[in-house]
Each structure stands twice: as structure tokens, then as C-alpha cells.
Amino acid sequence: MDTVINKLSEIDEAASSIMEETNARKKAFAQEMEERTAAFDLNLEKKTAERISEIRSRMEKEMKDMLEKQTADSEAFLKALEESYEKNHKAYVERLFAQMTKE
């Protein structure tokens, strides 16, 4: 009978030891997963910030280029209008005067 009790005691101690080891491994695994998750989040945040910065820079350049093009186009259009006025202002005045005096 004592042998059976001793054997049961040994089995109980072994089971307790296995459970403690399992809990310790589980705790270590949870800690490792937390560290990996934190590292992943940090890396993702860094990559996202870099990508946002790249997109913002590209968009700012595109907007600057568009603005420069619009400015150049506007200046060219105004210059063409001024040249047309300089060439044709007498004809415009005469035509306007003729229309006003015609009635």
C-alpha cells in the first residue's frame, strides 16, 4: 500500500513539475509574442510614416509643377493678348466707333 501511495505521490510531483514547466513556457511564449507584436507595430508605423512622407513629397512636387505650368501658360496668354492689342487696337477702336455711330 505504501508503494502505491509513493508511486501516486511521485506521479503527482511529476505532473506538478510538468504543469509548472508548461506554465513557464506559456508565459515565455506570451512575452515573446508581445515583443514580436510591438516590433511589428513599430516597424509598420515607421514604414507607414515613410510612405506618407514619400506621397506628400511627390504630391507637393506635382502641385508645384502644375502651378509653375499654369503660371507660365497664364503669362503666355497675357503676352499674346497684349501683342494682339498692340497690333489691332486701332482696328478695335474704329470698329467700336463705327458700331456706336451707326445707330
Question: 55-81 pLDDT, tens per residue?
Answer: 999 999 999 999 999 999 999 999 999
Q: Is the pLDDT of residue 7 over 90?
A: no
User: Which pLDDT belongs to residue 65?
Assistant: 98
pLDDT at 1 over 80: no
pLDDT at 76: 98
* Dihedral angle over CA of 98, 100, 101, 103, nearest 10: 120
pTM score, two decimals? 0.57
CA–chain centroid gap for 59, Å, is 11
Q: Which residues of 11-34 are buried (b: 16+ CB within 10 A; e: fewer)?
A: eeeeeeeeeeeeeeeeeeeeeeee
pLDDT band, residue 10 (cuts 50/70/90): confident
pLDDT at 103: 62
**What's the whole-number average pLDDT of the chain?**
93
CA–CA separation, 21 and 35 (whole Å): 21
pLDDT per residue as tens digits for the range 21-41 = 999 999 999 999 999 999 999
